[in-house]
Amino acid sequence: MKVLVTGGAGYIGSTLVPLLLREGYKVTVVDNMMYGQTSLFDVCWHPELNIVRGDVRDEKLLRPLIAAHDVLIPLACYTGAPACAKDPLAAVAVGQTAVADMYKMKSKSQLMIYPCTNSGYGIGKGAQECDEDSPLQPITLYGRLKVEAESVLLQGGEAVTFRLATVFGASSRMRLDLLVNDFTYRAVVDRFVVLFEPHFKRNYLHVRDAAGVFLHTIKNYAGMKGRPYNVGLSDANISKMQLCESIQKFIPGFQFPVSEIGEDPDKRDYVISNRRVEATGFKTQHSLQGGIQELIKCYQVMRRNEYSNV
């Protein structure tokens, strides 16, 4: 099978593309390399990899590529609330319009797998778990664009969507602006972080499991098509305070005082049920604790703050 991955040189893509190649798929990556990343160097030798430096807003570029592939995975987007706020027009064009256009150009025989975000649940329902039938109430432009793009695909019925938890872990296109990655970096380098709203909860997912669920879905597409799936670690619906305590177990000198003044601009607060995707046979393989240990090693190598989306 031939797989088209837009944004394939990004944080998830640069983990997913080598996995697809190892599994025997032919892969085409379309990426404008806007962050100057060199994350696919290690697989450029592979004869079944094609890399196209281009922009997903270019319909003339995308149309023939879409027609030539069996599986479409649109990862390209302005990822995260700060990146979207910095350039909202581009965020809409890449994260919403280009995804809808790709869906319109695909045939019914082609598989389309789209990564939404569970940040669409916004403030959630307190201690009550959010499942795929819970109301979506995104509180950022990033969340809104993801939810609106997902809605187009689900209304059409010819796609699978993932509401991914907050992703963490080492990737060859590293990001420091994700919560676990950020807090662990601060623990290693600064030994402290100031917490705002320490009780706010989120769900988490290792980047290798984020890649793995795409592979799982390609193999089980017929039974999953037309539905959204929460994807995260079911034992990691935890608060920011609990996350810091988990990091402190590996870095005992890490301090995380709580600020009584000010507030976190990110108001997301929810717990997530991942039972639907687990019922399809998908199981996460990488724990939060293992990811923290991995990141600590990663940060012995990397001490530069160039790996962010803003």
Q: List CB contacts of 164: < 8 A, sequence separation 6 or more.
A: 115, 116, 117, 118, 205, 210, 231, 232
Please give the pLDDT value at position 246: 98
> Class of the 2-166+205-232+272-284 domain?
alpha beta
With bands split at pLDDT 50, 70 and 90, how would you rate the model's confidence at 306? low
Q: What is the pLDDT of residue 260?
A: 82
Mean pLDDT of 295-307: 84
Dihedral of CA atoms 205, 178, 29, 97 in degrees, nearest 10, equals 100
pLDDT at 305: 63
Mean pLDDT, the chain, as a whole number? Answer: 94
Q: How confident is the model at residue 53 (pLDDT cuts 50, 70, 90)?
A: very high
pLDDT at residue 310 in the model: 65
Mean pLDDT of 24-40: 95
* 183-224 pLDDT per residue, tens: 999 999 999 999 999 999 999 999 999 999 999 999 999 999
The torsion angles phi and psi of 116, rounded to 5 degrees, stand at: -85, -155
Q: What is the pLDDT of residue 188?
A: 96
Which residue would you say has higher pLDDT here, 268 or 164?
164
Q: In the chain, what is the greatest distance between 2 CA atoms, to the nearest angstrom?
A: 56
Give residue 124's pLDDT. Answer: 76
pLDDT of residue 105: 97
> What does the pLDDT read at residue 5?
98
pLDDT tens, position by position, 77-135: 999 888 999 999 999 999 999 999 999 999 999 999 999 999 899 887 777 899 999 99
Q: In angstroms, how far is CA 67 from the centroid of its own chain? A: 25
Dump the DSSP string for 154-205: HHHT--EEEEE-EEES--SS--SSSHHHHHHHHHHHTSB--BSSTT-EEEEE
Percentage of residues in the chain having pLDDT higher than 90: 88
| CA angle (115, 139, 123) in 5-degree steps | 95
Q: What is the pLDDT of residue 307?
A: 67
Domain locations along the chain: 2-166+205-232+272-284
